[in-house]
Amino acid sequence: MNTKLKWIIHKHYFAIAVGVLLVVIILAPYFYLRGADWKVLLTVIGGLASFFFFIQKQALDEAHFIKELLIQFNARYDCMNGKLNAIVRKGDTGLGDDDIMILFDYFNLCSEEYMFYQRGYIYPEVWRSWVAGMNFYYKNPKIKRLWVYEFSSESYYGLDIEREMKKFRLKA
């Protein structure tokens, strides 16, 4: 399912359900007077109720899954945040082997977040916030050089940080 459509349905499913139910209630007398079987109308109403219960249940299950993802991603980032900031504070000095390994871990984290965002499991507003955070590190010339080089291998689930920053009108 298109992720934008998915977020629209999950965000507005109650209004959609009420609207469809009102349409069915309004059309029910018309179809009944035209000879439609009342059992068919009840079946349609029951089917609609089941569908919207399913959507609500799916939204709740996904919210739980998303919460777990956010906890894991944030915990991983928290472990490397100080090290990433230390790399930025070093100024123009080159990247050591430890710095490169930390950055590789960060690049992997970013690309995994992107993959889950692409599949519709990360809220767009959360992803925007994460892209803004990535932009902070991307602006650092030594990190940017490694980032561009590494991501040119296309081994990071298709994450293109510049495309994502343009999407949210962030400047590199």
Q: Is residue 126 part of a domain?
A: yes
Distance CA 131, CA 108 (A): 14
Enclosing domain of residue 121: 3-167
Q: Is residue 172 part of a domain?
A: no
Report the pLDDT value the prediction gives residue 61, as an integer from 0 to 100.
92
Task: List, for residues 19-49, the tens digit of each pLDDT value.
Answer: 887 887 787 788 777 777 777 777 877 888 8
Q: Is residue 161 part of a domain?
A: yes
Q: Is residue 66 part of a domain?
A: yes
Enter the pTM of the model.
0.77
Judge whether residue 172 has pLDDT over 70: no
Mean pLDDT of 85-113: 93
Judge whether residue 141 has pLDDT over 70: yes
Q: Is residue 131 part of a domain?
A: yes
Distance CA 86, CA 143 (A): 12
Q: Where are the alpha helices (DSSP H) in 34-140?
A: 38-89, 97-118, 124-138
Report the pLDDT value the prediction gives residue 1, as an integer from 0 to 100.
56
Is the model more confident about 79 or about 91? Answer: 79
Helix then strand count (H, E) for the chain reads 6, 0
Contact assessment for residue 13 and residue 56, using Cβ atoms and an 8 Å cutoff = yes
Q: Is residue 44 part of a domain?
A: yes
Report the pLDDT value the prediction gives residue 83, as an integer from 0 to 100.
96
Task: List, for residues 149-171, the tens digit of each pLDDT value.
Answer: 999 888 899 999 999 999 888 87
Number of domains in the chain: 1
